[in-house]
Chains A and B, each alone.
Chain A
């Protein structure tokens, strides 16, 4: 007996590949590019967005019958802003250096198109449990792309993963560096994030021919 019915499980698995918020729905791109130079920052950002999106989806879904249509954008903005303030304060309290790395982009979760997009497209029309799952699913899809981009950027850019040197020590010239390998510092610069996402889109659309646009 599974915890989730088939339809509900689809809410989580769809955004991971076929309906990925970043590569298919084209939402949430800003933060996906700017902070992915380190894998740790990517993971923390993905978890923050997951928290805000899941809880926000539930809150909006619970209120969906009492929000007047004219002010629904304002209500959504207030809910998201409040949640982001909480997340920001938690980050500042428990991991100050990381919150400095993420700096402005934690605040920009408010305008992260995924959150408003899912509120409009799903939470306003569905019950709280399904909205929660939808939030988790979309945030997982978003997080997947962030982690992939962060993985390659950190590995190729500084030879470390989550801060641990995995290719050897560049100063002592151990591991891979002993045969003359050098870190590709370019990967740490922001334009490479755009190109890595472009390549991810290329791979995804080559595997799934239906996604190709004309």
Chain B
């Protein structure tokens, strides 16, 4: 079940955009329309799903301290981890180039609509960040690395989809002039990030080190509505606990 747990964790709790702010530049630039946001998000999922496991293999058999044992015993002490950055970025750039060729061949319309953003995925912090976090969190197996890559991509996709939808809607709102465009997007993303923090309790029993100070009101926290009967006020409604999401007013029957 650790696959499911890692999958859910990388989508909601360690969401690439809201928890670690990776890929913000293209997130802000491409989120003006939902259709382009969907295209870019799908491309990011695809690239992450391929590069994270590839980089895991690279890390496992080449870069980690002691990884070169398979070459021979005298290579067992080599620690090439300082080369991680350049090796990861090299695999990412190569894979993106390959993805570009494949997309151009099999779906020219998608290729045209993505335009410059497909090659720009190579320098998207989300892609490199996915690999670097995979390395720093020491994910133990190839299958888990793939799950992590796909999950992170889906998390990013969810984030850009949400902000694109919201930006389309607020075009009709009365945003103060100085906040229009970039400013309000930042603030909305901040509020969404606060909202996503509420997922922190989702996989309880895990090893989450940070305790969120401002937790949102969750469904399970509320007490079941209790009606306090007042005998002498038969025609008053007792409204229980105003911050219930279902604000029912309970009429007291005589």
Pairwise interchain contact B183-A84, C-beta atoms closer than 8 A: no
Query: Chain A: which residue is nearest B119 at the CB level?
Result: A73
Give, as a whole number of angstroms, the nearest-CB distance from B160 to chain A: 14
User: For the complex, would chain A's binding face be called helix, strand, loop or mixed by DSSP majority?
Assistant: helix
Give, as a whole number of angstroms, the nearest-CB distance from A197 to chain B: 5
Pairwise interchain contact B23-A202, C-beta atoms closer than 8 A: no
Q: Which of B97-146 contact A (CB under 8 A)?
A: 119, 122-125, 127-129, 132-133, 136
The digit string for B159-197, where 1 denotes a CB below 8 A from any CB of A, is 000000000000000001111111111110111011001
B1 at the A interface (CB under 8 A): no
Pairwise interchain contact B186-A195, C-beta atoms closer than 8 A: yes
Question: Given the complex, which residues of A lie within 8 Å of B21, measured CB to CB?
Answer: 29-30, 33-34, 190, 193-194
B38 at the A interface (CB under 8 A): no
User: For the complex, would chain B's binding face be called helix, strand, loop or mixed by DSSP majority?
Assistant: helix
User: What is the bound-complex CA distance between A3 and B93, given in angstroms?
Assistant: 41
Pairwise interchain contact B136-A103, C-beta atoms closer than 8 A: yes
Give, as a whole number of angstroms, the nearest-CB distance from A57 to chain B: 16
If the complex has contacts A29-B21, A85-B86, are A189 and B213 also in contact, measured as CB distance less than 8 A? yes
Q: Which of B28-46 contact A (CB under 8 A)?
A: 28-29
User: What is the bound-complex CA distance between A28 and B28, given in angstroms?
Assistant: 11
Q: Which of B1-58 contact A (CB under 8 A)?
A: 18-25, 28-29
Pairwise interchain contact A111-B128, C-beta atoms closer than 8 A: yes
B190 contacts which of A30, A112, A192, A205 (Cβ < 8 Å)? A192
A23 at the B interface (CB under 8 A): yes
Question: Given the complex, which residues of A lie within 8 Å of B24, measured CB to CB?
Answer: 29-30, 33
Question: Given the complex, which residues of B lie within 8 Å of A112, measured CB to CB?
Answer: 125
If the complex has contacts A186-B214, A195-B190, A212-B178, are A30 and B86 also in contact, measured as CB distance less than 8 A? no
Pairwise interchain contact B89-A198, C-beta atoms closer than 8 A: no
Pairwise interchain contact B190-A201, C-beta atoms closer than 8 A: no
User: What is the bound-complex CA distance between A193 and B17, given in angstroms?
Assistant: 13
If the complex has contacts A111-B123, A189-B197, A189-B213, are A30 and B85 also in contact, measured as CB distance less than 8 A? no
Query: Chain A: which residue is nearest B124 at the CB level?
Result: A111
Give, as a whole number of angstroms, the nearest-CB distance from A22 to chain B: 10
Question: Given the complex, which residues of B lie within 8 Å of A81, measured CB to CB?
Answer: 85-86, 89
B212 at the A interface (CB under 8 A): yes
Question: Given the complex, which residues of A lie within 8 Å of B64, measured CB to CB?
Answer: none
B86 contacts which of A82, A111, A213 (Cβ < 8 Å)? A82
Given contacts A113-B125, A198-B179, A206-B178, 12 further A-B contacts (CB under 8 A): A28-B25, A73-B122, A73-B123, A85-B82, A85-B85, A107-B84, A108-B129, A111-B128, A112-B125, A190-B193, A192-B190, A194-B187
* Chain A residues at the B interface, C-beta cutoff of 8 Å: 23, 26-31, 33-34, 73-74, 77-78, 81-82, 84-85, 88-89, 103-104, 107-108, 110-113, 116, 185-186, 189-195, 197-199, 201-202, 205-206, 212-214
